[in-house]
Amino acid sequence: SQQGEEDPQALSIQEGENATMNCSYKTSINNLQWYRQNSGRGLVHLILIRSNQREKHSGRLRVTLDTSKKSSSLLITASRAADTASYFCAAETSGSRLTFGEGTQLTVNP
């Protein structure tokens, strides 16, 4: 069953702008993770936020988590052309198992 669902499906912005992607999930989670995938490659872990956290920062990334709304957002500030990729949220519910959303395709235009 689909646990994480990203919104929007595609986002196109100019270099220097901020990019915000949203994720919704259906059941209780232990943590929520965000991954990045360059075209045709494997996924790379970006950031993990635990269910008892509300916000977390890592470099230009800011993740928020609202467990009451079962939603999370990923903000990339001051975007660069190299940020062009697909971004996935993944909900960890039990036993280290992740359920991924369909992803947001981000295009950053130079």
Which residues of the shown chain bind other proteins in the complex (CB under 8 A)? 1-2, 30-31, 33, 35, 40-45, 48, 88, 90, 92, 95-103
Min. distance of Cβ 110 from other proteins in angstroms? 26
Give, as one character, the DSSP assignment of residue 77. -
Phi, psi values for residue 108, rounded to 5°: -110, 115
Using CB atoms within 10 A of its CB, is residue 4 exposed (0-12), middle (13-18) or buried (19+)?
buried
Beta carbon nearer to other proteins, 15 or 102: 102
Contacts of 44 by beta carbon, 8 Å cutoff, 6+ apart? 35, 36, 37, 38
Beta carbon nearer to other proteins, 44 or 78: 44
Beta carbon nearer to other proteins, 45 or 80: 45
Min. distance of Cβ 10 from other proteins in angstroms? 12
Min. distance of Cβ 96 from other proteins in angstroms? 5
Phi, psi values for residue 72, rounded to 5°: -140, 155
